[in-house]
Amino acid sequence: MKKRYYYILLVIFFASCNSTKHVTDGEFMLKENIIFIDSVKSKSGNLEKYILQKPNTRLLTLPLGLYFYNLGNPNKPKTVAEWAQKNPKSYRFVKSIFSEKQSIAYANSFINLNNWYLKNDAPEILNEQKTKKTADNLWAYYKTQGFFESKVDTVVQRNNDKKAYVTYYITRGNPTILDTITVKIASKALDSIYKNSKHESFLKSGSQYKDQNFRAEASSIVKLYRNSGIFHFSEAALGFYVDSTRTDYKTNVDFLISSNRLSEEDGSYKEKPYKVHTIKEVTVHTDYSYIKRNEEIKDSTTYKGINFMASDKIKFNPKYLSQSIFLKPGEVYKDTLRNLTRNHLKSLQNFKSTSLQFTPLSETNGDLKMDVFLTPMEKYNMGLETEITHSNIRNIGTSAKFSITNRNAFRGAELLKMSVLGSWFNSNNGPGWELGADVSIEMPRFVAPFGLGKLVPKEMSPRTYFSIGSSFQKNIGLDRQTFSFMTDYRWQFNTKKTIQLEVLNTQYVKNLNVDSFFDIYSSEFSRLNDIAQIYPGVADDLPTDATKYQATLNFMKTVEVDAAFQASNPTEYNTVLNILNRYNIVTSDFLIPVIAYSFTFNNQSDFKDKNFSFFKVRVSNSGNILGLLSNKRNSNNKKTFLNIPLAQYFKTDIEYKKFWDVGNNSVFALRGLLGAIITYDNSDIPFIRSYFAGGSNDIRAWQTYELGPGRRNTGLEYNTGSFKFLTSAEYRFDVFSMLKGAIFMDAGNIWDISNSSFVDDDSKFKNLSSLKNIAVGTGFGARLDFNFLIFRFDVGFKTYEPYLNDNKWFKNYNFANAVYNIGINYPF
Claim to verify: residue 189 and residue 140 sit in the same structural domain: no
User: What angle do helix axes 88-97 and 100-118 make, rounded to 10 degrees?
Assistant: 140
For residue 566, being part of any structural domain is answered with yes
CATH of residue 228? 3.10.20
Claim to verify: residue 680 and residue 789 sit in the same structural domain: yes
SS3 802: coil
Claim to verify: residue 269 and residue 314 sit in the same structural domain: no
| Residue at which a domain ends, from 230, 256, 273 | 273
Predicted local distance difference test score (pLDDT) of residue 539: 63
For residue 680, being part of any structural domain is answered with yes
* Contact call for residues 182 and 254 (beta carbons, < 8 A): yes
Kindly tell me if the per-residue pLDDT of 392 is higher than 50: no
CATH of residue 603? 2.40.160.50
Kindly tell me if the per-residue pLDDT of 2 is higher than 50: no
Predicted local distance difference test score (pLDDT) of residue 1: 44
DSSP assignment of 636-651: TS-BEETTEEBP-EEE
For residue 518, being part of any structural domain is answered with no
Q: Give the CA count within 13 Å in the CB-facing half-sphere of 376.
A: 21
Per-residue model confidence as pLDDT tens digits over 755-774: 776 777 888 898 888 999 99
What number of other Cβ atoms are within 10 A of residue 157's Cβ?
A: 13
The residues, any chain, with a CB within 8 Å of residue 749's CB and separated by 6 or more, are 693, 707, 708, 709, 710, 724, 725, 773, 774, 775, 802
Among residues 801, 794, 792, the alpha carbon closest in space to that of 824 is found at: 792
Predicted local distance difference test score (pLDDT) of residue 386: 72
Claim to verify: residue 226 and residue 125 sit in the same structural domain: no
* Contact call for residues 313 and 393 (beta carbons, < 8 A): no
Q: State the Cα–Cα distance between residues 241 and 375, nearest whole angstrom.
A: 47
Claim to verify: residue 641 and residue 751 sit in the same structural domain: yes
- The structure's pTM equals 0.79
For residue 412, being part of any structural domain is answered with no
pLDDT level of residue 16 (50, 70, 90 thresholds): very low
Q: State the Cα–Cα distance between residues 734 and 778, nearest whole angstrom.
A: 19
Claim to verify: residue 592 and residue 723 sit in the same structural domain: yes
Kindly tell me if the per-residue pLDDT of 10 is higher than 90: no
Phi, psi at 399, each rounded to 5°:
-140, 155
Per-residue model confidence as pLDDT tens digits over 498-521: 999 999 899 999 988 888 888 878
For residue 504, being part of any structural domain is answered with yes
* Least confident interval from 198-207, 360-369, 536-545: 536-545
Predicted local distance difference test score (pLDDT) of residue 430: 64
Per-residue model confidence as pLDDT tens digits over 22-60: 888 889 999 999 999 999 999 877 898 899 999 988 776
| Residue at which a domain ends, from 155, 171, 187 | 171
Kindly tell me if the per-residue pLDDT of 778 is higher than 90: yes
* Contact call for residues 784 and 738 (beta carbons, < 8 A): yes
Per-residue model confidence as pLDDT tens digits over 728-742: 999 998 887 788 999
Predicted local distance difference test score (pLDDT) of residue 387: 66
Q: State the Cα–Cα distance between residues 704 and 478, nearest whole angstrom.
A: 16
For residue 391, being part of any structural domain is answered with no
Mean pLDDT of 796-805: 94
Claim to verify: residue 241 and residue 319 sit in the same structural domain: no
Claim to verify: residue 208 and residue 354 sit in the same structural domain: no
Per-residue model confidence as pLDDT tens digits over 629-672: 888 888 778 888 988 889 999 999 999 999 998 877 889 999 99
For residue 740, being part of any structural domain is answered with yes
Claim to verify: residue 255 and residue 292 sit in the same structural domain: no
pLDDT level of residue 8 (50, 70, 90 thresholds): very low
Mean pLDDT of 583-596: 89
Per-residue model confidence as pLDDT tens digits over 83-94: 988 998 888 888
Kindly tell me if the per-residue pLDDT of 14 is higher than 70: no
* Contact call for residues 805 and 752 (beta carbons, < 8 A): no
Predicted local distance difference test score (pLDDT) of residue 517: 85
pLDDT level of residue 15 (50, 70, 90 thresholds): very low
For residue 526, being part of any structural domain is answered with no
Q: State the Cα–Cα distance between residues 454 and 447, nearest whole angstrom.
A: 10
Among residues 699, 670, 677, the alpha carbon closest in space to that of 773 is found at: 699
pLDDT level of residue 382 (50, 70, 90 thresholds): very high
What single-letter DSSP state applies at residue 237? G
Predicted local distance difference test score (pLDDT) of residue 803: 93
The alpha carbon of residue 434 and the mean position of all alpha carbons in its chain are separated, in whole angstroms, by 26
Q: State the Cα–Cα distance between residues 65 and 122, nearest whole angstrom.
A: 8
Predicted local distance difference test score (pLDDT) of residue 17: 58
Kindly tell me if the per-residue pLDDT of 237 is higher than 50: yes
Claim to verify: residue 166 and residue 189 sit in the same structural domain: no
Claim to verify: residue 706 and residue 789 sit in the same structural domain: yes
Per-residue model confidence as pLDDT tens digits over 421-449: 988 877 655 677 889 999 999 999 999 88
* Least confident interval from 118-122, 407-411, 702-706: 118-122
Q: Are strands 790-800 and 819-824 parallel, antiparallel or unpaired?
A: antiparallel
Predicted local distance difference test score (pLDDT) of residue 267: 73
Claim to verify: residue 798 and residue 694 sit in the same structural domain: yes
What number of other Cβ atoms are within 10 A of residue 751's Cβ?
A: 26
Predicted local distance difference test score (pLDDT) of residue 672: 97
Predicted local distance difference test score (pLDDT) of residue 395: 58
| Residue at which a domain ends, from 587, 619, 652 | 587
Q: Which residues of 569-589 are buried (b: 16+ CB within 10 A; e: fewer)?
A: beebbebbbbbbbbbebbbbb
Phi, psi at 96, each rounded to 5°:
-70, -35
Predicted local distance difference test score (pLDDT) of residue 281: 96
Q: State the Cα–Cα distance between residues 23 and 126, nearest whole angstrom.
A: 10
Kindly tell me if the per-residue pLDDT of 388 is higher than 80: no
* Contact call for residues 172 and 143 (beta carbons, < 8 A): no
Q: State the Cα–Cα distance between residues 278 and 324, nearest whole angstrom.
A: 19
Per-residue model confidence as pLDDT tens digits over 273-332: 999 999 999 999 999 998 888 888 999 999 999 999 999 899 999 999 999 999 999 999
Predicted local distance difference test score (pLDDT) of residue 429: 58
The residues, any chain, with a CB within 8 Å of residue 97's CB and separated by 6 or more, are none
State the total domains in the chain. 5
The boundaries of the domain holding residue 195 are 177-273
Average pLDDT, whole number, for the chain?
89
